[in-house]
Amino acid sequence: MAVPRESIAARRERTLRIIDALRVTYPDAHCELDFTNPLELLIATILSAQCTDRQVNIVTAGLFRKYRTAADYAQAPLEQLSEDIRRIGLFRNKARNIQSCCRQLLDLHQGEVPQNLEALVALDGVGRKTANVVLGSAFQITSGIVVDTHVQRLAARLALSRASNAVAIEQDLIQLVPRSDWILFSHWIIWHGRRRCGARKPDCAQCEISSLCPGRNPSP
C-alpha cells in the first residue's frame, strides 16, 4: 500500500515526535569517531568515507600519536602517510586529500581548522557532510544536518524526504528539524540506524518509533 503524502506541517509535527522519542532512547548519542581536537575529527571524517567508524578508530589510534599538527601531515612523505592508513579503503586517495588539505590549512588558516562552512568545503577532500560533522561535533556550530548513509536511508524509510541526494535530503530535513536539534538529530538517527533500524533487518517489533514510521505502519 502506498504511503500517502503528508503536508509539510504534518511531517514537521511527526518529526518532532520522532525527535522526542529518540532523545529519550539515545540520551548519550554522540559522534562515534574518536578525536580530541578539531584537526583529528577532520582527518577521521575524511577517512570515514565508505568505511566504518570502528575501522577508522583502529587506524587513528596510532595515526594521531604520530601526526599531531597540520604541518606533520603536510610534511610527511606521501608514501609513508599512505602506509599509515593502509587499512582504510581508498587509502591512497585519502592520503593525498589529507596532505593537500593540511597544506591548505597551513597556507590559508595558520594550520587551524576554520570554523565556517564555506572555508571548510573549499579544502581538498572536504564536502558538506564532513564540514557539518566538524562544525557540529568539534565546535558545536549548527551549520546544517549531517547526511551520511544512515541518515539518507532512514530519511527515506521514515518518509521525511523523497530526495535521492544528500544535499537535497539535508534541505528537506532543515525544514522539519528545529535548528537547536540539528547536531544531535543526525547522531540520534545514526545511532538508531546502527542499533535498531538496519538496512537489511530492521527490528520493527522493538523499534521505539515504529508508530511514527509510515514504512512500518502505513495509513489505510
Residue numbers annotated as active site: 129, 148
Print the SS3 string covering the chain: CCCCCCCHHHHHHHHHHHHHHHHHHCCCCCCCCCCCCHHHHHHHHHHCCCCCHHHHHHHHHHHHHHCCCHHHHHHCCHHHHHHHCCCCCCHHHHHHHHHHHHHHHHHHHCCCCCCCHHHHHCCCCCCHHHHHHHHHHHHCCCCCCCCCHHHHHHHHHCCCCCCCCHHHHHHHHHHHCCHHHHHHHHHHHHHHHHHCCCCCCCCHHHCCCHHHCCCCCCCC
